[in-house]
Amino acid sequence: MSLDPVLSRIDSDLDAAIDRLMALLRIPSISTDPAYKAECDRAADWLVADLLSIGVDARKCPTPGHPMVMGHVAGDGPHVLFYGHYDVQPVDPLTLWHRDPFDPAIEETAKGRVIRARGASDDKGQLMTFVEACRAWKAVHGTMPCRITFFFEGEEESGSPSLIPFLRENADALKADLALICDTGLFEGRVPSIMTQLRGLLGEEIVLTGPDKDLHSGHYGGLARNPITVLARVLGNLHDDKGRIQVPHFYDGVLEVSSEMRAQWEALNFDHKDFLGDVGLSIPAGEADRTPLEMIWARPTAEVNGITGGYTGDGFKTVLPSRASAKVSFRLVGDQDPHAIRENFRAWVKAQLPADVKVDFHGHGASPASRMATDHPAFEAARRALGEEWADEAAFTGAGGSIPVAGYFKTILGMDTLLAGWAKDDDQIHSPNEKYDVESFHKGIRSWARILDAISR
């Protein structure tokens, strides 16, 4: 089956493809907030209907949380499973958006046309690049180039609590020769990349309680324990002066970058001044003896993602608060064991608390880092195919973010995963004013058509 008419079809159908994406973007499927449960369900329904429209035998599969979408379609080539997620991040602070995050629009910017909406890039826009490639293939050839299983999750942004049980219960339906995931980006917004190592993620929420009610800081201050002060001391101890994380045994299982990989990364000429300059910073903040690319791809982190306690409204309230809490996450690399780190972190926090401060921990997700088997022949085939679509040769890279599902595909289903995506660093995913370049969407659809063609040969 010939590729060229498929690419032409993609070009002529682009406006209709954008309209379909916008319909999906209008659904506020925020998975972490229970108030949006029905909207997550509606996004799943939309995807089922869209897959059915291109001949995929699709259905919504209930879970204890948000539903999965699963679909199968026959084809001649190898069997691939494509994974994406239809849920999105919360949108606060809403005041920093210049338009309603769930009223998508095409905007003209100095860098070209963009689709502006929560989820435009992460991950609805990326997910739809694959669906649109399949739609074009089906329209032109009446069949697919590969046997394809579609698998869309609705809990990726909230720790994927239903994923592992679902993979175990549906292993027969989901197992394929290779998994494909579109949830990553172009290196420096330009170089097509296949990510071969991703950091894992461990989330911990700490809630400290001092006095059993909020107190007047005049009447009690100096005598009663302030849980914010205690929390600040603990979090202030998380890193030493050289940026090393102080939790005991934290670095167990961290692997050094191979000299081969290090050489490849050096060839990318990563400019950390530009990368940080784009977000108003200038100085690498990680371990003093590591290169910037190592800091984001190959070294573990501990970040405080949120903190709150006491009075945080306008003006001043001289309260000595009862509670203070923080959300802390760790990015993990190599063979670091998230469960061991969770235990060590909790013990380390407890050891720093005065006797009358109570602590509660709430765990959120625990996924190890992933490394892909780049000797699978599809990797090199896909890398060559991407080089034909984009101006730059494609590269194998690392990634700072976590895509835990790639690890589960390996451990539970025994599949390797090929991660490719078309997002850019300035897409502002997880932030106000998220966007996806129309170019990313268009060339992304063409890229998947090329990859499916290359894999099927």
Minimum distance from residue 445 beta carbon to a copy of itself (Å)? 24
Identify which of residues 258 and 282 has a Cβ nearer to a copy of itself in the complex: 282
Nearest approach, Cβ of residue 55 and a copy of itself (Å) = 36
Please say which residue, 34 or 414, places its beta carbon nearer to a copy of itself: 34
Q: Smallest distance from the beta carbon of 238 to a copy of itself, in angstroms?
A: 7
Q: For 229, left (φ over 0), alpha (ψ -120 to 50), or beta?
A: alpha
The least CB distance from residue 162 to a copy of itself, in Å, is 14
The pair of structure tokens assigned to 318 is 């001289």
Kindly state the tokens that stand for 312: 């945080």
CB of 389 to a copy of itself, least distance (A): 23
What one-character-per-residue DSSP string does 73-104 give? E-BSS-EEEEEEE--B----SGGG-SS-TTS-
The least distance separating a copy of itself from the CB of residue 143, rounded to whole angstroms, comes to: 38
Which pair of tokens denotes residue 435?
């966007």
Q: Least distance in Å: CB of 414 to a copy of itself?
A: 26
CA–CA dist 262, 383 (Å, integer): 19
CB nearer to a copy of itself: give 39 or 287.
287
- CA distances (Å), origin 420, targets 126, 191, 226, 392: 10, 11, 48, 15
DSSP 283: S
Long-range contacts of 91-94 (CB under 8 A, 24+ apart): 91/28, 91/30, 91/118, 91/432, 93/432, 94/432
Start-to-end C-alpha separation, the chain:
10
Taking the least distance from each CB to a copy of itself, the nearer of 329 and 447 is: 329
User: Among residues 136 and 202, whose Cβ is nearest to a copy of itself?
Assistant: 202
CB of 436 to a copy of itself, least distance (A): 15
In the complex with a copy of itself, which residue's Cβ is closer, 220 or 396?
Answer: 220
Side by side, which strands form the sheet with 200-209? Answer: 323-332, 200-209, 358-367
Burial of 223 (0-12, 13-18, 19+ CB in 10 A): exposed
* Structural contact between residues 302 and 287, judged by C-beta atoms closer than 8 angstroms: no
Q: State in angstroms the smallest separation of the CB of 164 from a copy of itself.
A: 17
Q: Which is nearer to a copy of itself, 168 or 358 (CB)?
A: 358
For a copy of itself, which is the closer residue by CB, 149 or 397? 397
DSSP string, 14-64: HHHHHHHHHHHHTS--BTTSGGGHHHHHHHHHHHHHHHHHTT-EEEEE--S
If the CB atoms of residues 58 and 357 are measured against a copy of itself, the closer one turns out to be 357
